[in-house]
């Protein structure tokens, strides 16, 4: 009888703890959650060819209690997400990439959209925005190398600087009485912002105009100036380059504090990625005992990012046969781990970071069925 009571008390205590934990979590409005996700890693970091952000949206209002993380959204993973009552699926890879002309039950990606909408589940994909982010996928992959310093191979440019235009045109207005006429004509050109300031040239006070303009507007500005030479003098045309972001961008070039043998590096990578096997191409003249000091890495498919980078070792998920031959011919060894094996482990770190970023307001869970489609047998 006493044993039965002890079991009852223990079970009740667990139930109460579970209820208290669940009640401590609240809902987030979808739009508020999307804003917070963008604050965590801006979608502006993504490559221009990518399809990132909210891909499937249930009719508003839509609240999120459970955020479900996966590397790839397959039909099996979708079934798991529905069973776990997900309100929003964060799929690292975008399940919708190429345009869809119809939504039918014929293809698996169309079926994902149908099931998501039928069950009021949103789908969000960050993909290359998380590749580039300072705390993103490539940063996580670099953690497996050992103590090192790293920088992006291809740094991102600041998205919001300068605030307007790709070019700046500056010139002095020849006669003050023409100033309003010139400004009025230039403001009629779409994509142009105009400011004026005083400047002293050759001991003469002059009014100069500064125009920020888009590439397309630049051609119209030049055409206007060419047709109205009497209005201006001392013209300068500047290309406005956005500043590079030091810790944001594609790939990572990692310099180890201490060199290790290639064999040791292989074991570190296998341990970090929880893999029993990786694929290795030895660089010409290299052995397993060759020292590794500099590693160039790119999660996923790294050929375009790694190409031309000087390093002892390339680490990525996949590369074409000929790109591997190219690297090896330059004495660079290559480790391939299969595409998503270089990405999926990041999701555990992501869960913890998002828990903190979102202040534990919602439940965040990892897929248990998501896996790389390729297996070594």
What does the pLDDT look like over 28-61, one tens digit per residue? 999 999 999 999 999 999 999 999 999 999 999 9
Give the pLDDT of residue 202: 66
Give the pLDDT of residue 18: 41
Q: Please indicate whether the domains covering 130-155+246-339 and 165-237 agree at the CATH topology level.
A: no
Which residue from 236, 185, 229, 232 is spatially nearest to 207, judged by alpha carbons?
232
* 47 labelled binding-site residue: no
54 - beta bridge partners? 124
Cα(first)–Cα(last) distance of the chain, in Å?
54
What does the pLDDT look like over 164-218, one tens digit per residue? 778 889 888 877 777 888 888 888 898 888 888 877 666 677 788 888 888 889 9
Residues of the chain with pLDDT under 50: 1-23
Helical H runs in the chain? 2-24, 30-40, 75-83, 108-118, 128-132, 137-142, 179-187, 215-227, 262-273, 303-306, 321-329, 346-357
Residue burial 89-106, b: 16+ Cβ < 10 Å; e: rest: bbbbbbbbeeeeeeeeee
Spatial distance between the Cα atoms of 354 and 133, rounded to a whole number of angstroms: 14
CB count in 10 Å sphere of residue 121? 23
Query: What are the tokens at 354?
Result: 């998002």
* 267 labelled binding-site residue: no
Give the pLDDT of residue 4: 43
Spatial distance between the Cα atoms of 71 and 347, rounded to a whole number of angstroms: 8
* 343 labelled binding-site residue: yes
Residue burial 260-287, b: 16+ Cβ < 10 Å; e: rest: bebeebbebbbebbebeebeebebeebe
**Domain regions of the chain by residue span:** 26-126+343-364, 130-155+246-339, 165-237
CATH level 3 topology of 130-155+246-339: 3.40.1390
Give the pLDDT of residue 325: 98
Query: What are the tokens at 363?
Result: 């439940």
Q: How far is CA 289 from CA 202, 286, 315, 333, 336, in A?
A: 69, 8, 17, 12, 19
Which residue from 238, 237, 254 is spatially nearest to 140, judged by alpha carbons?
254
Q: Thinking of the domain 26-126+343-364, which architecture would CATH place it in? A: 3-Layer(aba) Sandwich (3.40)
* 339 labelled binding-site residue: yes
Spatial distance between the Cα atoms of 121 and 54, rounded to a whole number of angstroms: 11
CATH class, domain 165-237, is: alpha beta
Placement of tokens 């975008």 in the chain: 94
207 - beta bridge partners? 198
């Amino acid at each position: 009888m006493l044993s039965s009571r002890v079991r009852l008390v223990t079970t009740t205590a667990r139930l109460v703890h579970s209820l208290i934990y669940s009640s401590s979590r609240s809902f987030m409005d979808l739009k508020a959650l999307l804003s917070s996700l963008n604050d965590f890693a801006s979608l502006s970091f993504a490559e221009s060819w990518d399809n990132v952000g909210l891909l499937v949206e249930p009719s508003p209002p839509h609240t999120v209690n459970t955020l479900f993380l996966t590397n790839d959204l397959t039909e099996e993973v979708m079934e798991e997400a529905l069973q776990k009552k997900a309100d929003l699926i964060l799929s690292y890879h975008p399940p919708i990439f190429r345009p869809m002309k119809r939504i039918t039950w014929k293809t698996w990606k169309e079926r994902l959209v149908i099931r998501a909408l039928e069950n009021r589940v949103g789908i969000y994909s960050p993909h290359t925005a998380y590749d580039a982010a300072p705390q993103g996928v490539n940063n996580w992959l670099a953690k497996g190398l050992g103590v090192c310093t790293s920088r992006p191979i291809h740094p991102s440019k600041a998205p919001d600087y300068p605030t307007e235009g790709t070019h700046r045109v500056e010139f002095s207005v020849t006669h003050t009485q023409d100033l309003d006429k010139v400004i009025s004509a230039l403001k009629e050109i779409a994509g142009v912002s105009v400011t004026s300031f005083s400047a002293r040239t050759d001991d003469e006070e002059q009014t100069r105009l500064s125009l920020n303009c888009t590439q397309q507007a630049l051609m119209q500005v030049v055409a206007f100036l060419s047709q109205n030479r009497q209005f201006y003098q001392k013209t300068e045309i500047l290309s406005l380059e956005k500043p590079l972001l030091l810790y944001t961008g594609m790939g990572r070039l990692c310099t180890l504090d201490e060199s290790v043998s290639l064999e040791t590096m292989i074991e570190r990578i296998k341990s970090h990625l929880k893999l029993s096997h990786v694929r290795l191409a030895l660089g010409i003249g290299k052995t397993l005992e060759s020292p590794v000091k500099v590693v160039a890495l790119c999660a996923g498919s790294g050929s375009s990012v790694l190409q031309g980078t000087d390093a002892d070792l390339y680490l990525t998920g996949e590369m074409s046969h000929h790109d591997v031959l190219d690297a090896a011919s330059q004495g660079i060894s290559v480790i391939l781990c299969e595409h998503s094996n270089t990405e999926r482990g990041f999701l555990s770190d992501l869960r913890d970071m998002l828990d903190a970023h979102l202040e534990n307001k919602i439940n965040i869970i990892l897929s248990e069925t998501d896996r790389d489609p390729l297996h070594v047998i």
